[in-house]
Structure 1
C-alpha cells in the first residue's frame, strides 16, 4: 500500500499533563485502587468471565470516563484523546478487564465519523457515554489502521433458524465481542449496526493468550443490522476508529510498562541476598536504569500520539505509527524484566506479573504489529525501504 508523506504540524506537541488530566488520573486511580483487585481479576479470568460489571458502571456512569470523546450535546464529556489516554494509562497499570479501548475509543470514534445528526447514531452514542451499552467494531483485533480492511460481502437476507444461520460470514479474533451489546460491521455496501442479541449473530469465545481481554469469533447473517454509513464514508469512519485506538493503545502499554518498572524497583529494594538488597547490585541497577529510559521515551511517544489525535494534527498517523512501533516492545520488555527480576516469585501463577506479560504481548500485535507500524513510519516519513 502506497502512503504519501505526511506534512508536519506547525506547533510542537504538548507532552505534559494538564491539571485537569492529573485530576482525572487521581479519580481513576482511586477508583481502581478501591475496586480493581488483581487476585480477584485473576480468579474471574480463570473462571472464563474476567469482567466486573460493578467496576465498569463506576468507571462509566460514575466518573463519566466512557463519554470523554463524545460531545456534550450527545451526553458525553466533550473532552479529548488526551484525557482518554490518561484513563487507559491507569487501566493498563492494573490490567483492568474492561472494554474501554474497544468500546469507548474505537467504536465511539467510528460512530463519530458517521452522521451524528441521525437519531439512531446519536442515541447509541448517548447510551455509550452513559455506560448503558457497549459497542465493538467487528474486525480482527490485529487490524492496523492503514491495513486492508476485512470487508464482509453485502449479500441477501440469510436464512435463520433456532440453531443455524445459513449464508453467514465469520470475523475471527474480535476483542471484547463477548461483552458487546452492539457490533459495528463493515460490509461492501456500508457500515452496519447489529445487535448481538439478534438471532442472526453468533459469538463464540476463543482461547486468548491474555485472559483479561477475551476474543471471539463473530458470525453474522448478511442481512442483519441497520446501515449507518455507505461508500467511502463507511471505510473512513472505520479507519478513524482504528487510528484512535492504535494511538491510545500506546497509553495502555505505557501504563503496563510503568507498573512493571515500579514493581521491579520495589521488589529489588525489599529482597535481600548476601545481607544486601538485590537492587544494590550493579548489574540489576543497569537493567532497571535502561528500562527507566525506555519507559520515559515511551511516555513521550504515547503523549505525542494522544496530543496529535486531540488536536487533529496533520501528522497524527505518523505520531500514532511511531507510538505503536515503540511502546509495544517497551511494554513487553518491561513485563519480561519484571518476571525475571522477581526470580522464582515472578514465575508463580499467584503473582500478577504474568498478567502484565500476557497483556503486553497481546497488545503488541493489537491494531497492528510493531513491524507493520514501522513500515507505515517509513512510508509516511518518505524513508527508503529495505534493499
Structure 2
C-alpha cells in the first residue's frame, strides 16, 4: 500500500494550490458565500474546463480521468485549505462516488459524463429530521416508482440537478435517483452555522425515482459509499486544519507584545507544537484511508472510521486555537478565523460526530 504521492499527484497539488490562491482568495470566498448561488459559477466552469477536476476521480469511459480516492483527496485537501464555497464536494465526493461505485452501467452512462464535464450538479440525501447518517434510521420510503419522505437535510440540495436518495423498500434499503426539479420535490435553502457550505431541506412527496445500484437490500454497497464519503471529508478537514495552523504561526511571528513576538512565548509555542502533532496524526490517518479506499481493501471501514474521528477533532481543535492565538482580532467578522471554526464544527457533525465514529471503530475491531 503506497502512502507516498507520485510525481503526477504532487504536480496536481501544486497546480491546484496556485489556481486556488489566484481564483479563491479570502475576498472571493466571501463574495461567493454571500451570493444567491452560494458559489462562483465562473470558477465552477474553470475547475471543470481548465483543470478537469470534476472528472478527475471518475472512470475514463464516462468522461473522467480514471483517478480515484487519492486524487480526490488531494483536491479536497486543497479546497478545504481555502474553504472553497462550491457544490464540488456534494457533486463529486458524494454523488459522483456513489454513482461510480454502483456497478449500474445504465445509470453511470446517464449521469457521470455530465458530472465530469461540469454541466450537472448532484448530491446525496440520507439525513432526516434526526440528523443521523445511519442506514438503520432511514424512514424515507419508495413504492410504485416514487419516493416519499420529509425533512431530508441535504448538502447543496437547493440547487442540485440530481438528488440520490437513500430510502427503504420492501426488500431493504436502496439508492434512488430523483431529478431536482421533479414533481413532488420541494426544496428549501436553510440558514446554517457554516456560510461557506449550503444546506437545504428537501421534502419528497411521490417524486419519480429510478433505482441506482443493486436490487434487493443495497446496504453493503451503501455502507461502502458512506465510508468513501467519510474518507473524502477527512481529507478536506486536514486541509482546513493545516490552514488554521499556518495562520496561527504566521500571526505569532509578527504580533508583538511586551516588546517580543508572541511566538517567542512558551504558551504559544506549546499550542502550535501540540497542533502540529495532532494535525500530522490526522493527516496520516486521512492519507492511509485514501490509499485503502483506492485499493478497494476490506480495511476500508476501519480506516474510514479512524480518519473521520481523528480529522474532525484535529480541525475543530486547530480552528479554536487559531482564534485564541489571534486574540481579539480572531473574534471579529472581518477576520477569517471564525469561518474556519464554523466549517470545522459543521463538518464535525455532517456524517456523525467523532464519538459516533469512535464507537463504530470499537465495534469493528472488537473492543
Q: TM class by shorter-chain length?
A: over 0.9
Tell whether the 8 Å contact from 2:323 to 2:337 is kept in structure 1 after alignment: yes
The answer to whether the 8 Å contact 2:224/2:301 transfers is no
* Structure with bigger RCO (C-alpha 8 Å, 6+ apart): 1
Cα RMSD between the aligned structures? 2.0
Structure 1 residues 233 and 33, CA gap change in structure 2 (3 angstroms): farther
Displacement of 1:348 after TM fit? 0.8
**Equivalent-residue separation in structure 2 for 1:26 and 1:296 (angstroms):** 19
Which residue of 243, 248, 255 corresponds with 2:227?
243
Aligned residue among 116, 121, 126 for 1:139: 126
Distance 1:241 1:45, change over 3 A: same
Q: 192-201 or 253-262: which moved more?
A: 192-201
CA contact 2:164–2:176 (8 Å) conserved in 1 = yes
Tell me which moved more, 68-77 or 351-360.
68-77
Q: 2:197 aligns with which of 213, 226, 245?
A: 213
Question: Which is further off, 208-217 or 13-22?
Answer: 13-22
Residues of 1 paired with 2:243 and 2:192: CA distance?
A: 22
Residues 182 and 193, structure 1, Cα contact 8 Å, conserved in 2: yes
Shift of 1:197: 1.8
What SS class does the counterpart of residue 178 from structure 1 fall into?
coil
Question: 2:260 maps to what in 1?
Answer: 276
| 184-193 or 364-373, larger mean C-alpha shift | 184-193
Could you report, residue by residue, the CA deviation over 1:257-283 in whole angstroms, capped at 9, with x for unpaired residues? Answer: 100001100001011112211101111
Q: Does the aligned pair in 2 maintain the 1:243–1:320 contact within 8 Å?
A: yes
Name which of 104, 111, 119 aligns with 1:124.
111
Residue number among 144, 163, 168 corresponding to 1:183 in the alignment: 163
Pair 1:316-2:296 in alignment:
no
Relative distance call for 1:249 and 1:157 in structure 2 (3 A) is closer
Deviation, 1:156, is 5.0
Task: Pick one of 1, 7, 14 that aligns with 1:26.
Answer: 14
Matches within 5 A, 1:227-376: 227-229=211-213, 231-232=215-216, 234-376=218-360
Residue 378 (structure 1) aligns with: 362
Within 2, Cα distance between the matches of 1:309 and 1:38?
32
- Could you say which residue in structure 2 is the equivalent of 1:7? none
Is the 1:143–1:149 Cα contact (8 Å) retained in structure 2? yes
CA 1:47–1:104: 2 relative to 1, 3 Å: closer
Higher mean Cα deviation, 40-49 or 102-111? Answer: 40-49
Paired residue secondary structure (1:350): coil
Contact 1:205–1:217 (8 Å) recurs in 2: yes
Query: 1:28·1:59 contact (CA, 8 Å) conserved in 2?
Result: no
Unaligned runs of 5+ in 1: 1-12, 159-166
CA 1:83–1:149: 2 relative to 1, 3 Å: farther
Distance 1:330 1:147, change over 3 A: farther
Q: How does 1:60-209 map to 2 (within 5 A)?
A: 60-118=48-106, 120-140=107-127, 143-144=132-133, 147-148=135-136, 150-155=138-143, 168-189=148-169, 190-209=174-193
If the length of structure 1 is used for normalisation, what is the TM-score? Answer: 0.88
| 2:94/2:124 contact within 8 Å kept | yes
Aligned residues: 361
Gaps of 5+ in 2: none
Greater CA deviation, 96-105 or 335-344?
96-105
After superposition, the C-alpha distances for 1:199-242 in whole angstroms (9 at most, x for unaligned) are 32111011211111111110123241323345446434433322
The SS at the match of 2:136 is coil
C-alpha contact (below 8 Å) 1:111/1:237 kept by paired residues: no
Q: How far apart in 1 are the matches of 2:287 and 2:191?
A: 32
- CA offsets 1:171-215 (integer angstroms, 9 cap, x no match): 432111123111112333343211112232111011211111111
